[in-house]
């Protein structure tokens, strides 16, 4: 029997939902404030939390961070009074599984909860010596990924700061979680923060917290991610996007191991292990004076380079078959195999979007398949017939300038096509490309794309 927690200060809504969910076979508890909700989560394990965005003592953003810090595998669905796309995107990036708007329709809520719980999968588990899964992420059997796993295992028990470098879609956060799960801190929180998604004026508050009244809009005290991760691991994704002044303060926190909230003079000691990630070369950023050299050396006590999918081609079909199984479960299909002609296409394509791109292609192909197998005709045209530059890149040795030029041209075309698909909305294009807006703007400038 799945266990659900409802957090809402409207007692009438809580009781109605509790009655409805209980009659559908779920075990349900209720809480009428963020504080009582967190006490319930600390004292018991829930499969799903249904949480109102506006509560008397906190809001959905802050509560979501706290829930994920101590119950990473718990599904969280946010109830909001109005549909705000920007708010929804931020909630999803922070770990919310979905959101639902008021007025609440009981049938809609039941259907959504049933769907999310049906998709629920266990946290990191070892299934074979070369496969680890967490949701839709797997690690293959190639030698360079075995090397990544061995390095991750070796550094995990230490307190060394780890820098994970790899392209978008390679699974940097999953490697960070793997390190945390195998560390001595595994029973304490793992808190992840996407530095590229933080508005510049809120970075101080998100990282270090604030006290009520410290700035306009600070209506209550707030803990930053350092306080939330105390005793555990803090993962800072795309750290290169932090502004210079935030870099200065972050360096001071890492050196002194104390944090002061915005508007507060009192310093609080924190015991946090730092893991950072970037899809850029931070050393180049240092040389261009975009990133502090002293901070670079502080976060780069141990570096792990995560290989791109095209650098471990022996894993492509391995991943594709795994994603096909996952797509069958999610879409309620019964696709049995990938045809030999489709396999050949998948193996030849360079996969610049890495695992994320491969997963999306397989899911789409499974949905379009008219029979019980994925054929070449089910694959997107740009995968089956890549540009000449991509085809030529297959014959060029890694490290030669010709390959770099081919890769750059493909990336330029991909960005341009995605911007067009997004109706020239750069924020939407960035979300489709799974990168932050700053990175997209830099790429547009780099390739001289005129919009």
Q: Domain locations in the chain?
A: 3-119, 125-305, 312-378, 390-446
Domain covering 390-446 assigned CATH 1.10.10 in the classification: yes
- Rounded Cα gap, residues 13 and 28, in angstroms: 13
Residue 125, pLDDT above cutoff 70: no
Bridge partner residues of 268 (DSSP):
259
- Rounded Cα gap, residues 326 and 363, in angstroms: 8
Output the pLDDT for position 220: 83
Residue 302, pLDDT above cutoff 50: yes
What is the arithmetic mean of pLDDT over 46-58? 90
In order, the DSSP letters of 54-104 are: B-SS-BHHHHHHHHHHH-TTSEEEEEESS--HHHHHHHHHTT--EEEESSP
Reported confidence tier of residue 82, pLDDT bands at 50, 70, 90: low
Q: Tokens at residue 212, please?
A: 């009520």
What is the phi/psi pair of residue 278, to 5°?
Answer: -155, 150
Q: Is 49 exposed, middle or buried (0-12, 13-18, 19+ CB in 10 A)?
A: buried
CATH class of the structural domain 3-119: alpha beta
What is the arithmetic mean of pLDDT over 105-134? 61
- Rounded Cα gap, residues 285 and 165, in angstroms: 13
Neighbours of 179 (CB within 10 A): 29
Output the pLDDT for position 133: 45
Q: Tokens at residue 275, please?
A: 């893991």
Q: Please answer whether residues 325 and 363 qualify as being in contact, where contact means their C-beta atoms are separated by less than 8 angstroms.
A: no
Reported confidence tier of residue 274, pLDDT bands at 50, 70, 90: very high
**Which of 115-124, 241-250, 261-270: highest mean pLDDT?**
241-250
Output the pLDDT for position 420: 73
Sequence-distant (≥ 6) Cβ neighbours of residue 45 within 8 angstroms = 3, 71, 74
Reported confidence tier of residue 338, pLDDT bands at 50, 70, 90: very high
What is the arithmetic mean of pLDDT over 163-175? 89
Residue 397, pLDDT above cutoff 50: no
Residue 267, pLDDT above cutoff 50: yes
- Rounded Cα gap, residues 219 and 210, in angstroms: 10
- CATH for 312-378, among 2.60.120.260, 1.10.8.60, 1.10.3720.10, 3.90.700.10? 1.10.8.60
**Which of 42-56, 107-121, 423-437: highest mean pLDDT?**
42-56
What is the arithmetic mean of pLDDT over 166-192? 89
Residue 121, pLDDT above cutoff 50: no
Residue 320, pLDDT above cutoff 60: yes
Residue 78, pLDDT above cutoff 60: yes
- Rounded Cα gap, residues 71 and 190, in angstroms: 9
The CATH classification number of 125-305 equals: 3.40.50.300
The reported pTM is 0.61
Output the pLDDT for position 156: 94
Q: Is the peptide bond before 103 cis (omega within 30 degrees of 0)?
A: yes
Residue 223, pLDDT above cutoff 50: yes
Residue-averaged pLDDT of the chain: 83
Residue 276, pLDDT above cutoff 90: yes
Say yes or no: do domains 125-305 and 390-446 share a fold: no
Output the pLDDT for position 83: 58
Output the pLDDT for position 24: 85
Sign of CA dihedral 118, 116, 29, 72: positive
What is the arithmetic mean of pLDDT over 418-442? 76
């Amino acid at each position: 029997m799945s266990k659900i927690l409802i957090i809402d200060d409207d007692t009438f809504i809580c009781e109605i939902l509790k009655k409805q969910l209980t009659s559908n076979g779920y075990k349900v508890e209720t809480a009428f404030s963020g504080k009582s909700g967190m006490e319930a989560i600390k004292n018991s394990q829930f499969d799903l939390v249904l949480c109102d965005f506006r509560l008397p003592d906190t809001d959905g953003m802050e509560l979501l961070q706290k829930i994920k810090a101590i119950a990473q595998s718990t599904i969280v669905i946010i109830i909001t009074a109005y549909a705000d796309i920007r708010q929804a995107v931020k909630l999803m990036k922070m770990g919310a599984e979905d959101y639902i708007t008021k007025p609440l329709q009981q049938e809609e809520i039941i259907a959504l909860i049933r769907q999310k719980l049906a998709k629920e999968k266990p946290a990191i588990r070892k299934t074979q010596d070369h496969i680890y899964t967490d949701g839709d992420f797997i690690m293959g059997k190639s030698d360079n990924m075995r090397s990544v796993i061995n390095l991750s295992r070796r550094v995990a028990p230490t307190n060394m700061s780890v820098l994970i470098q790899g392209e978008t879609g390679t699974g940097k956060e999953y490697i960070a979680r793997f390190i945390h799960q195998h560390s001595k801190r595994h029973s304490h929180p793992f808190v992840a923060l996407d530095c590229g998604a933080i508005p510049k004026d809120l970075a101080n508050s998100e990282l270090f917290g604030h006290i009520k009244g410290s700035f306009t809009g600070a209506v209550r005290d707030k803990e930053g991610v350092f306080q939330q991760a105390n005793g555990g691991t803090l993962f800072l994704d795309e750290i290169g996007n932090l502004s210079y002044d935030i870099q200065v303060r972050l360096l001071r926190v890492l050196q002194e191991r104390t944090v002061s909230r915005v508007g507060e003079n009192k310093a609080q000691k924190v015991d946090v292990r730092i893991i950072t990630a970037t899809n850029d070369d931070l050393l180049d950023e240092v040389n261009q004076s975009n990133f502090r050299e002293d901070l670079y050396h502080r976060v780069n006590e141990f570096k792990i380079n995560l290989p791109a999918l095209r650098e471990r081609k022996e894993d492509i079909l391995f991943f594709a078959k795994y994603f096909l199984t996952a797509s069958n479960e999610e879409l309620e299909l019964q696709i049995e195999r990938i045809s030999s002609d489709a396999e050949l296409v998948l193996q030849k394509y360079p996969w610049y979007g890495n695992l994320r791109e491969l997963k999306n292609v397989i899911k789409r192909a499974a949905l379009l398949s008219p029979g019980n197998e994925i054929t070449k005709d089910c694959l997107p045209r740009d995968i089956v017939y890549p540009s000449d530059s991509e085809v030529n890149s297959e014959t060029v040795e890694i490290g030669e300038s010709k390959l770099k030029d081919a890769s750059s041209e493909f990336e330029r075309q991909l960005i341009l096509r995605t911007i067009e698909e997004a109706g020239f909305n750069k924020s939407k294009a960035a979300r489709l490309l799974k990168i932050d807006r700053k990175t997209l703007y830099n790429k547009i400038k780099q390739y001289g794309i005129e919009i």
